[in-house]
Structure 1
C-alpha cells in the first residue's frame, strides 16, 4: 500500500508529538522523584528516646538511643544520609553475670577514639545495699566496631559521687577528657521560690531537682580526677528569666520535680556551648535550652533566647515533648540537632527528629525546629 508523502509527514508529526508528550511526562516524573529524594520530613522512622548520632566518617552514620527494641541494653541503626536508617540489632547487652548494670538502660553515647568505639551509658547499679529505687550510675563499654559488640571495660561504674547520676556526655581537648552528667532528682529536694510557691498552692510539699555537673576523666576512663563541678541547675528565683520555661513541670502540675539533664557540650570559636533539657521527660513540656562559658567547666551563663526547642502545639503544630538532644557535626560545617519528641500519631511513643541548627554571627544558637514539613536533605560536601 502506498502512502503519500503528505500523509506520511502528518503521521510522523503525530508520533513525534506523542513521543514528546511521553518524554515530558517521564521527565516530570523523574524530576518529582529526584526532588522527593532531596527532601525529608520529621519524624524519622526510628522510635526511641535520647538519640545520639555518631559521624563515623566517609558518609557513614550510626545512631544509638534508649529503647528501640533492645532488651537490657542498646541497639544501633546505620545510615549514609542521616534520614534513611537500617536497624543493626542489639550492640550492647547488660544485666549479665559479668555486668555491673541490672536494668534501666538509658542514654548511650558512642565516641570514636584512636580507632576504637567507646559507649558511655546510664543504668541501675547492682550494688545497692540500701535498696534505693534509683541507684543509677554511668559506665563505659568498648568495641572494635560501631555495631558492637560493646564490652564493659570495668566491672563497676566509672565513679560513685554518692547520689544517682544519668545522661553521660564526654568532651575532650588538649589531652584532657571531661565527663558531664545529671544528678538525678531522686531524694534531692531543693529550696527555691518556685518550691515555696507550689507549697503555698497546696500542690507539692517539696520540689526535687536534677543538676548538671562536669568532672575531668582519667585517660583510661577508669575514674575521675578531682571533684565534680556544678555547671547548671534550675533557677532559684521566680523572676529569673529562665524560671518560667524550666519550671513548667511544676506550674503545669505534672510532677514535683524540675530537671536539668541531657547535657551536650561543644566548642564554637572560643566559646563553649552546653545544651540541656528541662521539665518532665515523659510530659509535653520537655524542652531544650543552652548556656555558654569560656571554660569547659564553667561558669555557664544561660542564653536569653531559651528555650531553643519546645512543643509547637500552641502554634498549630503537632509536636510535644522535645528534648534530650545531641548534635551531628557535618564535614562541611553544617550542624544538625537530633532529639526525640512526640506527635499526635506517635502518642506517648518517643520518635526521632532531625533539624538544622546554627550559630549566628552574634553567637546566638538557633534550632530550626521542631518541624514536620519537608526540608532539604542533609548534604555532606
Structure 2
C-alpha cells in the first residue's frame, strides 16, 4: 500500500487531462526508432514488495488504446517489461468495470490487503479492486462515484490519522481541483466536506489565454506537517503544459500557490507538454515524479512516459519542492 512506504518519509503520502480529451484523436504512429519508448499518458508508479508497477492512459495509435489500463513492471525503474496485465496486457479491461470510453489517469493503492484502482471513465470517477497489482481489476457494481457534475483525475491521500481524502478534478467552469473526505469503504465521499482547492488563475497556468482554464492531475504529499498539492496546468496539448504546487496546513486547504511554480516545464527539461504524473518513493527512499511529455517538438501524440527526481530545498525559511533537471529520463521497455 502506498501509505506503508510513504510514512517512512516523514508522513509523505502519495495520482486525466482536460474535458476536451475525448474530442481529440491521436493517430501519429510511433516510428521504429522509438518502439522501446513506453507510450502512456497520466502515468502512475506503484511500488510493492520489490516491484515497480507502471500504469497510465493509453495514447496515440497504440495497441489497446481505449480498452482499459496497461501495466508494466520493473525491479530497477530502468528495465521495464510489458505490458504484463493479466488480460492481454491490461490490468483493467473494458467490460469488467465501469465505463466504455475515456479510460484515464489510474491510481493504485493497497488498503486492507486489497489493491484498489481509482480511475476515470466516461468523465466519471470509478473504483475497481483486485488481489494482484497486475489485475484483473473489476468493479462489480459498474457504477461511478456519485456526483452532480463530471469529474476526473482521482487521487487518494490517507493521512496520519487514517482519514482518507479524494482529490479530483470537477468539470465546472474549467477544470478545477476539489477534495472531499472519503468514507472508510473508499466507495463514496462525505458530500458535506467537498471543498475547492485549486483553479488556474496565474499567467503560467493559461499561456494560450483560453476561456476554459485547466488545473488538473492532483497528487498530494505531507512533510513536516505541511501538505503539498502538486498539479498540472494548461491544456495537455499545449507545449506549455507544466507542473506546479501549492501548500496548506490542512488537507482541505486553504492552499497557497508556490511562487517557484512551474517546477517542471519544457523550460526545465526541454520537452513539450511535460506534466500530469504522480509522486512515489523508490526503494532507496528517493522521491520521484513520473509524468508524460509530448511525442516530439512538432507532434503531441503519442505521449511518452518519463521520470524525474524530486527533493526539498530550504529557501526563505520554507521547504520548497524542486525537480532535478539532470535526472530526467524517458522510460523504456526491455
Decide: shared fold, TM above 0.5: yes
Is 1:230–2:186 an aligned residue pair?
A: no
Corresponding residue of 1:172: 158
Cα offset, 1:156, TM superposition: 1.0
What SS does the corresponding residue of 1:111 show, helix, strand or coil?
strand
Q: How far is 1:102 from its partner?
A: 1.7
User: 2:97, 2:138 within 8 Å by CA — same for their partners in 1?
Assistant: no
C-alpha contact 2:308 2:329 (8 A) present in aligned 1: no
Match of 1:81 among 76, 83, 86: 76
Structure 2 residue matching 1:245: 3-state secondary structure: helix
For residue 39 of structure 2, what is the aligned residue in structure 1? Answer: 47
> Relative to 1, partners in 2 of residues 1:43 and 1:278: Cα closer, same or farther, differing over 3 Å?
farther
2:303 paired residue among 336, 350, 353: 350
Long gaps (5+) in structure 2: 1-33
Whether the aligned pair in 1 keeps the contact of 2:263 and 2:322 (CA below 8 Å) is yes
Does the CA-based 8 Å contact 1:43-1:372 persist in structure 2?
no
2:107 and 2:294 mapped to 1: Cα distance? 21
1:368 counterpart (310, 324, 327) = 324
Tell me the distance in 1 between the aligned counterparts of 2:108 and 2:48.
Answer: 10
Between 1:43-52 and 1:264-273, the stretch displaced more is 43-52
The reply on whether 1:91 has 2:47 as its aligned counterpart is: no
Q: Secondary structure at the match of 2:144?
A: coil
> Does the 8 Å contact 2:205/2:234 carry over to 1?
yes
Asked if 1:306 is matched to 2:261, the reply is yes
Between Structure 1 and Structure 2, whose CA radius of gyration is higher?
1
Q: C-alpha displacement at 1:43, in angstroms?
A: 12
Structure 1 range deviating more: 337-346 or 323-332: 337-346
In the alignment, is residue 182 of structure 1 matched against residue 169 of structure 2? Answer: yes
RMSD over aligned Cα, in angstroms?
Answer: 2.3
Partner Cα distance (1:256, 1:85) in 2:
40
Q: Does 1:275 align with 2:275?
A: no
Query: Relative CO higher for 1 or 2, CA cutoff 8 Å, sep ≥ 6?
Result: 2
Distance 1:373 1:43 in 2: 16
What secondary structure, in the 3-state scheme, does the structure 1 residue paired with 2:180 have? Answer: strand
CA contact (8 A) 1:44 1:352 kept: no
- Which residue number in structure 1 is paired with residue 99 of structure 2? 101
When the two structures are superposed, what TM-score results if normalisation uses the length of structure 1? 0.69
Q: CA deviation at 1:257?
A: 2.2
In the TM superposition, residue 263 of structure 1 has moved relative to its aligned partner by: 0.4
State the TM-score, normalizing by the size of structure 2. 0.79
Task: Using the TM superposition, give the Cα deviation of residue 373 of structure 1 relative to its aligned residue in structure 2, in angstroms.
Answer: 7.1
1:329-344 map, 5 Å: 329-344=281-296
Does residue 138 (structure 1) correspond to residue 125 (structure 2)? The answer is: yes
Give how far 1:372 is off: 5.8
Offset of residue 76 of structure 1: 0.3
Residues 144, 357 of structure 1: alpha-carbon distance in 2 compared, 3 angstrom cutoff: same
SS in 1 for 2:39: coil
Aligned equivalents of 1:370, 1:229: Cα separation in 2: 37
